Amino acid sequence: MNQERLMKVLLEPRVTEKSTQLAESNRQFTFKVRTDATRSEVKGAVELLFEVQVDSVQLLNVKGKRKRFGQRAGRRNDWKKAYVKLKEGFDIDFMGAQ
């Protein structure tokens, strides 16, 4: 895996109420990733960008919702979510609080 590819795998962290509870209790963080990303790519990207050690990665395909835009029916895009569990003693701080 080259570093250029790893830098493009993670799209954004998913900071929600559920993901915050997972982070506090299990050291498990949630990211939106590219739809063609693999477990090993996600693991490498998190270790490269945040300088932590990853214990496990779980990937999940999220189906886009059907929505109405005025009189037209539409559909949001499908996307992929990654749950990343860190090894003991490592943490990621998205808020930058000290």
CATH of the domain at 18: 3.30.70.330
Total domain count, the chain: 1
Answer whether residue 46 is part of any domain.
Answer: yes
Answer whether residue 38 is part of any domain.
yes
Contact (Cβ atoms closer than 8 angstroms) between residue 44 and residue 88: no
Q: What is the pLDDT along the chain (98 residues), one digit of tens a residue?
A: 789 999 999 999 999 999 999 999 999 999 999 999 999 999 999 999 999 999 999 999 999 999 998 999 999 999 999 999 999 999 988 776 55
What range defines the domain where residue 40 resides?
Answer: 3-86
pLDDT value at residue 69:
87
The answer to whether position 97 is within a domain reads no
Tokens at 82, concatenated: 């990654």
**Strand (E) or helix (H) holding 19:** helix 17-26
Residue 1: per-residue pLDDT: 74
User: In angstroms, what CA-CA distances link 81 with 12, 30, 68, 72, 76?
Assistant: 10, 7, 24, 28, 15
